[in-house]
């Protein structure tokens, strides 16, 4: 006959600690959420900027407008900024355009707001300033005119909306299908190893061990994103 003695008091205490450990783990994740989101936002911002630069170099006809003249795809010639905010709803990204300071060959002044104007397809009117005649090239021919010229779509159909399409491509395809998988972030979230590894400590330490474990687990994601 096998006799088993169960220390009921210890068993109940262990179970209560495990429950508190689990609740503490979730509280630790909540506590470290802003740190995680900031690391995520910083990493995504950098990767998105590189993604745009790479696409610009491979397709300059569509994305030349978001860089200084003749420097398409160069990081230090960007006419766009990517930023993010953290709120109770999570992580939000937004973009803005910078002023262009370079001068296109054949011009005498910068094309201010060129990134926004070409991206949005905003019509512009060109009129002579220092002379009574406006000189420009069209279809390889030099044109002289005294009248203002309206350009309905300065960047052309290929340019209009191309920056927005590139950003959408990053978030709808590259980020979900490639980045999360290759960076190991998706697998990391599927398998919270640290929770299991510290379970024995949780039996004695309870909630405080859970909080520190959950906080470390969620904030360590930043090392994978920015590593």
> Taking Cα atoms as reference points, which of 172, 128, 149, 159 lies closest to residue 60?
159
The pLDDT-based confidence of 149 (bands split at 50, 70, 90) is: low
Q: Is a pLDDT exceeding 70 seen at residue 11?
A: yes
Q: Please tell me whether residues 113 and 198 are part of one structural domain.
A: no
Q: Please tell me whether residues 74 and 49 are part of one structural domain.
A: yes
Q: Please tell me whether residues 116 and 189 are part of one structural domain.
A: no
Position 14 in a domain: no
Selection from 27-31, 120-124, 130-134 with the highest mean pLDDT: 27-31
Mean pLDDT for the chain overall: 84
pLDDT score at 186: 79
Q: Please tell me whether residues 70 and 162 are part of one structural domain.
A: yes
Position 65 in a domain: yes
pLDDT score at 64: 95
Position 126 in a domain: no
Q: Please tell me whether residues 82 and 109 are part of one structural domain.
A: yes
pLDDT score at 43: 87
pLDDT score at 10: 79
Query: Which residue segment(s) compose the domain that 47 sits in?
Result: 32-120+157-182
Position 69 in a domain: yes
The residue with greater pLDDT, 142 or 212, is: 212
The residue with greater pLDDT, 133 or 65, is: 65
Q: Quick one: average pLDDT of 154-173? A: 89
Q: Please tell me whether residues 75 and 95 are part of one structural domain.
A: yes
- When mean pLDDT is compared across 70-79, 137-146, 172-181, the lowest value belongs to 137-146
Q: What distances in angstroms separate CA 110 from CA 101, 105, 113, 138, 185, one per listed residue?
A: 6, 10, 9, 20, 43
Position 91 in a domain: yes
Number of domains in the chain: 2
Q: Quick one: average pLDDT of 83-112? A: 88
Q: Please tell me whether residues 208 and 191 are part of one structural domain.
A: yes
Got the DSSP string for the chain? -------HHHHHHHHHHHHHHHHHHHHHHHHTHHHHHHHHHHHHHHHHHHHHHHHHHH-HHHHGGGBSTT-TT-GGGB-EEEEEEEETTEEEEEEEEPPP----TT-SS--TTHHHHHHHT--EEE--SSSS-EEEEETTEEEEESS-EEES-TT-TTTTTHHHHHHHHIIIIIIIIIIHHHTSHHHHHH--HHHHHTHHHHHHHTHHHHHHHHHHHHHTHHHHHH-
- When mean pLDDT is compared across 96-100, 104-108, 212-216, the lowest value belongs to 104-108
Selection from 67-71, 143-147, 182-186 with the highest mean pLDDT: 67-71
Q: Is a pLDDT exceeding 90 seen at residue 185?
A: no
Dihedral of alpha carbons 97, 98, 103, 109, sign: positive
Q: Please tell me whether residues 196 and 111 are part of one structural domain.
A: no
Q: Please tell me whether residues 176 and 194 are part of one structural domain.
A: no
The pLDDT-based confidence of 78 (bands split at 50, 70, 90) is: very high
């Amino acid at each position: 006959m096998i006799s088993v003695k169960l220390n009921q008091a210890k068993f109940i205490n262990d179970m209560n600690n495990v429950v508190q450990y689990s609740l503490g783990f979730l509280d630790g994740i909540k506590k470290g959420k802003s740190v995680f989101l900031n690391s995520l936002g910083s990493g995504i911002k950098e990767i998105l900027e590189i993604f745009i630069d790479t696409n610009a170099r491979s397709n300059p006809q569509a994305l030349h407008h978001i860089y200084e003249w003749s420097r398409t795809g160069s990081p230090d010639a960007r006419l766009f900024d990517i930023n993010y905010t953290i709120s109770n709803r999570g992580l939000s990204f937004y973009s803005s355009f910078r002023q262009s300071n370079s001068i296109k060959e054949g011009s005498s002044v910068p094309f201010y707001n060129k990134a926004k104007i070409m991206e949005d397809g905003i019509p512009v009117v060109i009129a002579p300033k220092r002379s009574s005649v406006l000189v420009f090239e069209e279809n390889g021919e030099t044109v002289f005119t005294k009248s203002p010229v309206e350009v309905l779509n300065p960047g052309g159909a290929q340019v209009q909306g191309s920056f927005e399409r590139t950003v959408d491509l990053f978030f709808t395809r590259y980020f979900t299908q490639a980045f999360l998988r290759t960076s190991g972030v998706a697998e990391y979230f599927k398998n919270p190893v640290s929770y299991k590894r510290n379970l024995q400590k949780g039996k004695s330490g309870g909630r405080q061990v859970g909080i520190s474990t959950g906080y470390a687990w969620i904030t360590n994601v930043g090392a994978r994103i920015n590593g």
